[in-house]
Amino acid sequence: MPSPIQFWNEKGEEFARIARDPGSFFARRAALVAELVSNHISPGRVLDIGCGAGQLCFDLARRGFDVYGVDLSSVQIEMAIQTARGRLSLPDKRFQVCTPQCLSFNGPFDVITAIGVLPYVEDHSAFIKRALSLLEPNGMFVASCTNSLSLFTGLAVARHMRAFQPDRAWFSVLANLVRTGLWSGTCVDFRIARQCGSAAALDRLCERLGLVIVGELDLYNVTWSSFDRSPFERGRIGRMLSRRLGWTHVGAYRKQFTGT
């Protein structure tokens, strides 16, 4: 199993290319997360953990936020810096390579985001506690998790079964999809992992850590349908179905008020 840093550097250019494609799910997700954030908090200082090539940072910057990003991949951080030149002041100071033990920036931040990061983190509770230590008392934490049971995963497994190959690579992809909902796996040792595998599990964890949910976004990532066309305009039944069957759940949380 490759280390997370090796994995993300090897996949860095590929993931960055997809994230920058305006028609891709990941570019649409970044734009929708930026909308979710701006719907619930005024522009302020933002740290995007796992920023990749910076797509969410750029979407938030266009909405007036003061953005900073960290990522394990030096390849993607360099791409973010190059893209930021001419768009943002001091890009070398805004995007930094981090390690699992250090997030490179000191707080406090008004918003901390972690989109597409939790599947690659072994201990979700420890990760969120570390993020919250950098958050303003009235700040907002926004994170996504991948539902282990989703419409996307079911369709992906069915397609993969039709392309059966009796080799190790085929079985590895199948195991990744069933376990994580991701084709590539996550470099996580599941013997010791403590992860949230659903929207409800992520909400429960954040509640235990003193947070209250203020907004959410659920995306199917099913290209042949219009399910993700207007995710903020779903009715009650639509929200319930997308929360249970969507591939990506994004929760926006704030610390509970404890004053008198």
pLDDT digits (tens, 9 = 90+) for 202-226: 999 999 999 999 999 999 998 766 8
Q: Contact 111/48 with Cβ under 8 angstroms?
A: no
DSSP state for residue 124 in the 8-state scheme: H
pTM: 0.90
Task: Report residue 69's pLDDT band, with 50, 70 and 90 as the boundaries.
Answer: very high
- Give the mean pLDDT of 16-38: 92
Residue (of 225, 57, 53, 257) closest to 155 by Cα position: 225
Between 254 and 229, where is the model more confident?
254
Q: CA separation (Å) from 19 to 59, 136, 182? A: 12, 29, 16
52 class by beta-carbon count within 10 Å (0-12 exposed, 13-18 middle, 19+ buried): buried
> Residue 136 belongs to what H/E stretch?
strand 135-146
Q: What is the predicted pLDDT for the residue at 254?
A: 95
- Name the percent of the chain lying above pLDDT 70: 92
Lowest-confidence region among 41-55, 186-200, 230-244: 186-200
Q: What is the pLDDT of residues 158-170, one digit of tens each?
A: 888 888 888 887 8
Hey, what amino acid is at 121?
V
* Across 70-81, average pLDDT: 93
Percent of all residues in the chain with a pLDDT value above 90, rounded to a whole number: 59
Residue 101 pLDDT? 65
Q: How is residue 254 written in tokens?
A: 């704030």
- pLDDT(173) > 80: no
Terminal-residue alpha carbon distance, the chain: 51
Mean pLDDT of the chain: 88
Q: What CATH topology corresponds to 4-255?
A: Rossmann fold (3.40.50)
Give the whole-angstrom CA distance, residue 115 versus residue 119: 10
Burial class (CB in 10 A: 0-12, 13-18, 19+), 162: exposed
User: What integer pLDDT is reported at residue 187 of this predicted model?
Assistant: 67
- pLDDT tens-digit series, residues 103-142: 778 889 999 999 999 888 888 999 999 999 999 999 999 9
Specify the residue for token string 């059966």.
Answer: 164
Q: DSSP per residue over 208-247, as a string? A: HTTEEEEEEEEE---TTSSTTSSGGG--HHHHHHHHHH-S
